[in-house]
Copies of this chain bind each other. A is one copy, B any other.
Amino acid sequence: MSKLVIVGSVAFDAIETPFGKTDKILGGAATYIGLSASHFNVDSSIVSVVGGEFPQEYLDLLSNKNIDLSGIEIIKDGKTFFWSGLYHNDMNSRDTLITELNTLADFNPIVPENYRDAEIVMLGNLHPIVQSSVLDQMTTKPKLVILDTMNFWMDSALEDLHNVIKRIDVITINDEEARQLTGEYSLVVAAQKIHKMGPKYVVIKKGEHGALLFHNDNIFSAPALPLAEVFDPTGAGDTFAGGFAGYLAQTGDISFENMKNAIIYGSALASFCVEKFGTERIQNLSKDEVHERLLTFKKLTQFEIELT
């Protein structure tokens, strides 16, 4: 069984959408990545930090999914990272209402000893220096390092971001961020430029329009599942990344052909994530439901053309 190290936030979220609002609920990039990856046969460990008020119930939820939590530092007199956001009617844009970094502000990630030889490392969205620090701790060169990031770090820590991007194999980024990072409108040209920064594989997430995987001249296009209702998009990108990383860790096959499948698994899991608030849907998801959704993705995209 492959080991998967996941670094990222474990947090409280408060979410408001046109369909309703939540109190402080379980959130954070590493949470979504871990829950999503837990649908695969992998040995995952989350590296993160929370405050003393973080409920044991949430930690139990994660460890019940067989996620190792020895890399989650609990700072007794600290508070957990808190994010609050408001989604607009089209669900494609949101306002951040509150960001309280709290313990995440001075997060010094420590990868547990027995995960420093992990085959797959998933660097969730965090300060690029924190992401680099995780790579520094690996005693064996990982088979695959995947990085997720966002425009915030391009604005505030571009040089650090470039330094970590040099060291990774796969970047997952959304379309606007790919354009910002490269100054190119065409996603094909943007991906070419990102290849030159280091990553051999570039995954561009396009929300309701799916995702593109680039590897040199090879391109794979995965759709998003067209949905009658998007209830809450929070965590969809992280769920996608967790499915992608989890599937690759389970299969141990990091070829382009298998990454296509990983993209489809990630997309399928993300399509569940948005059906309910927060982690609710992704934490209560049966194998049968996942299989059925994968068949839906097949029907959605596969065609049998005869070249006449």
Q: Contacts A300-B219, A305-B264 hold; do A189 and B294 have CB atoms under 8 A apart?
A: no
Which chain B residues border A302 with CB–CB below 8 Å?
301-302
Copies of this chain held together in the complex: 2
Rounded to whole Å, the gap between the CB of A53 and the closest CB of chain B is: 38
Interface pair A186/B229, CB less than 8 Å apart: yes
Contact with B along A243-275 (1 / 0, CB 8 A): 000000010000001001100110000000000
Rounded to whole Å, the gap between the CB of A52 and the closest CB of chain B is: 40
A226 to B90, CA, bound (A): 25
Q: Contacts A206-B209, A228-B188 hold; do A261 and B304 have CB atoms under 8 A apart?
A: yes
For residue A58, CB closer than 8 A to chain B, the reply is: no
A302 to B188, CA, bound (A): 19
Interface pair B221/A223, CB less than 8 Å apart: yes
A301 to B299, CA, bound (A): 12
Interface pair B305/A294, CB less than 8 Å apart: yes
Rounded to whole Å, the gap between the CB of A38 and the closest CB of chain B is: 15
Rounded to whole Å, the gap between the CB of A203 and the closest CB of chain B is: 13
Interface pair A300/B220, CB less than 8 Å apart: yes
Residues 286-308 (chain A) with a chain B CB within 8 angstroms: 291, 294-295, 298-308
Interface pair B303/A186, CB less than 8 Å apart: no
A291 to B308, CA, bound (A): 9
Interface pair B300/A305, CB less than 8 Å apart: no
Identify the interface centre among A89, A187, A260, A303: most chain B CB within 10 Å of its CB.
Answer: A303
Task: Using CB atoms, name the residue of chain B closest to A206.
Answer: B209
Interface pair B187/A261, CB less than 8 Å apart: no
13 A-B residue pairs with CB within 8 Å = A186-B227, A188-B227, A206-B209, A209-B209, A212-B226, A220-B301, A220-B303, A221-B226, A221-B301, A250-B308, A291-B307, A301-B302, A302-B302
